[in-house]
Amino acid sequence: MTETPILKLEHLGVTFPNHPVFTDLNLTINQGEFWSIVGKNGVGKTTLMRTILHQLRPTHGRVSYWPNAGDVRIGYVPQFRNIDADYPLTIRDFVGLNLTGWKWPWLSRKEKSAVQQILGETGLEKIANRPIGQASGGERQKAYLAQALVEAPNLLILDESTASLDPVTKTELLDLVQELNTKLQLTVLFVTHDIPMARKYSSQYLMLMPEGTEQGQIAGLTQQKVWEGENV
Ligand SMILES: Nc1ncnc2c1ncn2[C@@H]1O[C@H](COP(=O)(O)OP(=O)(O)OP(=O)(O)O)[C@@H](O)[C@H]1O
């Protein structure tokens, strides 16, 4: 299979006031790859994802999408977030929210059918009309995943989004992501502390490491990239 880049990090660095999180990070992610991003608490994984999402301006270097920024549709599933119990939307509405551009309360027939399909694939169909504020933590995480997938992204970022799930649900969701990765060449960045899951689902990983620590390895993965950060 020829390797076509979708995302390039070149000499990337982020420094908060007096606190360099990482410097000179170089990495090419190709279409259809499933990467795990691993490393201890506070090492800079979320900072890296925020930089990739252009929510954070790098201090050095750049993030570029290939072939053009317009060709890359990113789906982002955040870490567990609390939702107010009075949040008025149903799970179905929540999943379709981004399709409306947050402007219109209605969806086209095609959009409704995309929502219905993803509700089925994520196992949310039966509870689709329940207010999301009343859904359990795991159900909400599924809804966030469904919301990211319904827009048919070609790059999916899971930011420790499976951390609060029970092992069965976690496996179900990652199986679905893996299926989309295989069938549709969905590129995946999976931020996780769960090394067995990283080993099971990804083929490559980026391990962010504090400067001066020994290089880590994840046995069983065919490729590895190890980068040493600073000052963590
Ligand atoms: N806006 C900010 N201003 C200053 N420092 C920040 C800011 N955001 C993050 N940091 C610091 O940057 C470092 C990296 O944080 P980050 O959240 O990226 O780590 P992480 O690897 O995702 O951690 P975890 O596994 O705990 O979620 C931490 O020391 C954090 O305190």
Asked whether residue 86 carries a pLDDT value surpassing 90, the answer given is: no
18 vs 104: which has the higher pLDDT: 18
**Which residues sit with their C-beta closer than 6 Å to ligand 1?**
16, 19, 21, 39, 41-47
Residues 183-225 have pLDDT tens digits of 989 999 999 998 889 889 998 888 887 665 554 444 444 344 4
Taking the CA of residue 40 as reference, the ligand 1 atom at the shortest distance is 25
Strand order in the sheet with 225-228: 74-77, 155-159, 187-191, 34-38, 204-209, 225-228
Asked whether the CA dihedral 69, 2, 50, 63 is positive or negative, the reply is negative
Test site for ligand 1: of 16, 41, 193, 232, most ligand atoms within 8 A of the Cβ: 16
b or e along 175-186 (b: 16 or more beta carbons within 10 Å of the residue's beta carbon)? ebbbebbeeeeb
pLDDT cut 70: percent of the chain above it: 86
Quote the pLDDT of residue 211: 63
- At residue 104 the predicted structure's pLDDT band, cuts being 50, 70 and 90, is low
The reported pLDDT for the residue numbered 174 is: 93
pTM: 0.87
Distance between CA atoms of residues 32 and 197, nearest Å? 18
Describe the crossing of helices 167-184 and 137-149 by its angle, rounded to 10 degrees: 10
The model's pLDDT over 147-158, given as tens digits with 9 standing for 90+, comes to 999 989 999 999
Per-residue pLDDT at 225 = 47
Q: Return the pLDDT at 158.
A: 95
Residue nearest to atom 14 of ligand 1 (CA): 44
- At residue 136, does pLDDT exceed 90? no
**Can you tell me the distance from the alpha carbon of 104 to that of 22, in angstroms, rounded to the nearest whole number?**
41
Dihedral sign for Cα 66, 57, 206, 27, please.
positive
